[in-house]
A and B are shown apart, each in its own frame.
Chain A
């Protein structure tokens, strides 16, 4: 168990903190939104942020003037589709977690706790238990904060190799070790006789294909499936090893932390994003769920060659007029930005700038022709940390609630509505938003309310077979 926990800091860091940048929702929106932002940006030239974000290509601005209302309509029409594009994976992840919790008893058995939550909850008095859980939550959150700051520091001092190694070790751990444990427990539950050689073959294939899909290239659906699976696995680990009160407290505190870290000017995630912007670089793409593949000239989300190629391409546009970016880094700074940087900036800052697709298309084609991509192909991104914490909430609800399925379903609906509201806010405010606070708040409220108020009521009604 200690070995497991020893790896967890890296993993956790890899998952959670790296995802904090990814805990925002972002819209890789279509041209019309970009144009709309171009229009609004020209009006908002006093906004200092817009300057560091870089200005769109001037010719594209002129070429693509469009009515703002049309853009808004497109946004909302495609907004509903984007909401569904996120509903489905979130639902799938939760279904996997709940199905596992209900069938495999391993994940509800108490087998000790993580080293981050050293205080036990098996105490004599309620007060002691409350105190212990508060201390546990405090320790866990400080670990997360320290890891995030460490990540920001590493990023600031350009220790990319360390970060990439960290990410790879985390995904290796998840894809091989945790899935091996999961498979073993599923076999034990259904009493399936299995030999080690078959298991080794299965885990090897699963893991290697997963590494390739997640870190390199792969079919979109397969990549999405793998991301959902690793989120579910991580959520199951949390559900197993976090004691009850600690888990709820951690969920509450993490949503507050997410809110603070993403929206406050001095938040670590915001600083991370700004540093990435200054360097026109991409940030850790491996841990974001993306609903569409971005078909670009230099696709590969993580390919360092592509990054270099992209930055080389961007230098072609040095002559681009109206480059108002004020950046110290003059060579990388020009009218065109690397596609990964765009993508990442869209992730962090939200859809307030031109889209990476149109950007890269413009870079690649010096004729400034418009990208002919169908706006419906734009997708939304959601960080895997969000998947994990949503699933932790619903999984814990299904594991420990006395109302059982009623509570689980209530939490599920609450989380989906929170996600819907967050996406609506994203469409309105057009900046990176934390996806955790609204959903987790609704989820927690519904959990405690359903478990304590609704369940006795429905129970009594069902006992007498009354229907309301």
Chain B
């Protein structure tokens, strides 16, 4: 416990997210706005889900622990479905914004592509979801205390941090896949995204049996990552090209040299 645990957990949970934000989002104002607006959409979805859960809890028997547990699972499922619904709503909004930006730009192309918006929106959902899940736990980890002294798992903090990291990455990948599926009207992809989200959330119900929850979730994260990479246009060749750090010929350069040829004649 203490600052070391806090920084370690924060690094595990938000390291990738922070790196992604700093490297890809922070420099572009439009992307920052998409990020914040995505967080807002996720928050609204959470609000509605909490409202539904709250009403269901108040209408039910408070003393029945099993019922409350069931209602919690029901609330979590509703929340997942609402999150995906709001992701779709955000897609619609961004699509309109993209068209608007394209209309008013000089060259008919909007300054930010729908793919970039898909990535940033996924990242925003991931960050805000991760933050809401884990921030109170992180803050508690600064203070004094012993984890799991009442018989709970002593690995609570570290597994929470890893789960949060997985969730952030998963949301990013889901964002990319979801938007692409909506664009190309591949509804089976949409269904698969929703299903994996439900599956991931369901796997966390197996906590504290961490082997059954953490390992499959990370496998799912890897699969989703590969799928999102392929969806975004990546391939093995791209990776090789990127790693070999070769300078690509810029088409503008080609045109410039083409223009110069008549002068030299």
List chain A positions with a Cβ less than 8 A from chain B: 69-70, 72-73, 76-77, 80-81, 83-84, 87, 404-406, 409-410, 413-414, 416-417, 420, 446, 449-450, 452-454, 456-458, 460-462, 464-468
* Total A-B residue contacts, Cβ distance less than 8 Å: 116
B47 CB-CB contact with A under 8 Å: yes
**Contacts A413-B36, A420-B37, A453-B50: A466 and B101 contacting too (C-beta < 8 A)?**
no
The answer to whether A84 touches B207, judged by C-beta atoms less than 8 angstroms apart, is no
The answer to whether A465 touches B104, judged by C-beta atoms less than 8 angstroms apart, is no
Query: Smallest distance from the beta carbon of B132 to chain A beta carbons, Å?
Result: 6
Distance between Cα atoms of A409 and B132 in the complex (Å): 8
The answer to whether A73 touches B163, judged by C-beta atoms less than 8 angstroms apart, is no
The answer to whether B40 touches A414, judged by C-beta atoms less than 8 angstroms apart, is yes
Query: Smallest distance from the beta carbon of B37 to chain A beta carbons, Å?
Result: 6
Contact of B36 among A420, A449, A464 (CB under 8 A): A420
The answer to whether A467 touches B29, judged by C-beta atoms less than 8 angstroms apart, is no
Identity of the chain B residue whose Cβ is nearest the Cβ of A405 in the assembled complex = B135
B244: A residues at CB distance < 8 A: none
The answer to whether A416 touches B47, judged by C-beta atoms less than 8 angstroms apart, is no
Distance between Cα atoms of A409 and B46 in the complex (Å): 13
Contact of A70 among B83, B106, B156, B208 (CB under 8 A): B106
- 19 A-B pairs in the complex with CB atoms less than 8 angstroms apart: A83-B29, A404-B139, A409-B131, A414-B43, A417-B37, A449-B51, A456-B50, A457-B49, A462-B137, A464-B205, A465-B156, A465-B160, A465-B163, A467-B164, A467-B201, A467-B204, A468-B76, A468-B79, A468-B133
Contact of A413 among B43, B160, B204 (CB under 8 A): B43
**Contacts A405-B135, A462-B137: A457 and B33 contacting too (C-beta < 8 A)?**
no
B39 CB-CB contact with A under 8 Å: yes
The answer to whether B133 touches A457, judged by C-beta atoms less than 8 angstroms apart, is no
B106: A residues at CB distance < 8 A: 70, 73
Contact of A453 among B51, B104, B167, B204 (CB under 8 A): B51
Query: Smallest distance from the beta carbon of B14 to chain A beta carbons, Å?
Result: 13
Contact of A457 among B37, B53, B128, B201 (CB under 8 A): B53
**Contacts A416-B36, A457-B54, A457-B75: A450 and B47 contacting too (C-beta < 8 A)?**
yes
List chain B positions with a Cβ less than 8 A from chain A: 29-30, 32-33, 36-37, 39-40, 43, 46-47, 49-51, 53-54, 72-73, 75-76, 79-80, 83, 101, 104-106, 111, 128-129, 131-133, 135-137, 139, 156, 159-160, 163-164, 167, 200-201, 204-205, 207-208
A84: B residues at CB distance < 8 A: 29, 32-33
The answer to whether A460 touches B47, judged by C-beta atoms less than 8 angstroms apart, is no
Identity of the chain B residue whose Cβ is nearest the Cβ of A80 in the assembled complex = B29
The answer to whether B207 touches A462, judged by C-beta atoms less than 8 angstroms apart, is no
The answer to whether B105 touches A73, judged by C-beta atoms less than 8 angstroms apart, is yes
Identity of the chain A residue whose Cβ is nearest the Cβ of B153 in the assembled complex = A465
Not counting A466-B204, A468-B80, a sample of 17 additional A-B residue pairs whose C-beta atoms are within 8 angstroms of each other reads A73-B106, A80-B33, A405-B139, A406-B136, A416-B36, A420-B33, A446-B47, A450-B47, A452-B54, A453-B54, A458-B136, A465-B163, A466-B76, A467-B163, A468-B76, A468-B133, A468-B201
Shortest Cβ-Cβ A-B pairs, 5 listed = A80-B29, A465-B207, A453-B50, A84-B29, A457-B50
Contact of A462 among B46, B54, B136 (CB under 8 A): B136
Identity of the chain B residue whose Cβ is nearest the Cβ of A455 in the assembled complex = B50
The answer to whether A413 touches B159, judged by C-beta atoms less than 8 angstroms apart, is no
